[in-house]
Amino acid sequence: AKDSGRNTYRFYTDKMNIDAMERLRMRNGLAEALLKQQFVLYYQPQFDLHSAELVGIEALIRWNHPEKGLILPDKFIPIAEQTGQIVPIGEWVISEACRQAKAWQQQGYAPVRVAVNLSSLHFKRGDVIKMITGLAQEHDLDPQYIELELTEAIMLQDVDHILDIVKTFKTLHFTLSIDDFGTGYSSLAFLKRFRVDKLKIDGSFIRNLEVDTHDLAIIRSIIQLAKGFNMRTIAEGLETQEQLEILRREGCQEGQGYFFSYPLPVKQVVKYLHVAPGP
């Protein structure tokens, strides 16, 4: 019995060592990626569903790994959240997105709003307001061209603290949206006090919209809810003409997805930008 106990113990420590090793390797890799500037932003355009005008662009991170090539965020963002490295990584994302948005303006394109994804850790650690306003100032970018995508996970934190931060961002004219809306924790009571500009309807409700009447019921109520609160709605993961037509009919204002465009590297996304009208 003593032996099997020891074996069990050994089994678990070996397993834990592998996980710990893997995590350590990833942590080192991420630190090196930051240092050696291996992260890169891709940009996915967002459109008004009625006028087909470009309304914004979401910045999505990728890791350009020297050996493994382009790594998608699902492979490293969850680990960065665990190690806390999402804080400096997110800071890099915001800085780079601001720099790029300003560069487009300087190249003569009409200003476009760039949306960035924030982690709930940004709200827990340090001064997120100071960090973001500082980066906007550093790049001389007006906050109206920055959209902050929050996840419903932040609502698990101290409500008054989050409300204060959100109010301050609003006062400073940042755009705020709730990402992956409908999959998380937001209660209706919370939304009532939480004056964001936009709800991003999660792609999981769009995927089977043509055939799933429950998804239709869900998107319908999200859109009506948003209307009642004077918020806009954007559907993510929009892939087909039929989804577009349903969303249009239901009164969803904006959309983003492969139907319009994949997330693109800077060089390719400029074709969606408009030239600024002359002076």
Binding residues for ligand C2E restricted to 160-189, rule: CB under 6 A: 179-180
The token pair that represents 109 in the structure block: 């394109």
Query: Does 84 contact ligand C2E by CB under 6 A?
Result: no
Nearest residue to ligand C2E by CB is 257
Beta carbon of residue 132, minimum distance to ligand C2E (angstroms, whole number): 13
Please compute Rg for the chain using Cα positions: 21
- Of residues 44, 117, 151, 233, which one binds Ca ion by CB under 5 A? 117
CB atoms within 10 A of CB 54: 17
- For residues 121 and 81, the answer to whether their CB atoms sit within 8 Å is yes
158-164 LR contacts (CB < 8 Å, sep 24+): 159/190, 159/193, 161/123, 162/123, 162/194, 163/193, 163/194
Count of residues of this chain found to bind ligand C2E when the rule CB under 6 A is applied: 22
48 binds ligand C2E (CB under 6 A): no
Stretch that binds ligand C2E, among 11-19, 69-77, 154-162, 224-232 (CB under 6 A): 69-77
By C-beta, is 104 or 205 nearer to Ca ion? 205
- Chain centroid offset of residue 149 CA: 5
**77 is a contact residue toward ligand C2E (CB under 6 A):** yes
The b/e string for 26-38 (b: 16+ C-beta within 10 A; e otherwise) is: bbebbeebbeeeb
Q: Distance of alpha carbon 163 from its chain centroid, rounded?
A: 19
For 76, 240, 266, the CA distances from 275, given in Å and listed in that order, are: 36, 28, 16
According to the binding rule CB under 6 A, does residue 100 interact with ligand C2E? no
Using the contact rule CB under 6 A, the part of the chain among 140-148, 190-198, 235-243, 264-272 near ligand C2E is 235-243
Contact region with Ca ion (CB under 5 A), list: 44-52, 72-80, 139-147, 172-180: 172-180
Nearer to ligand C2E, 21 or 117 (CB): 117
**Which of the choices ligand C2E, Ca ion, none does residue 177 contact, using the CB cut-off of 5 to 8 A by kind?**
none
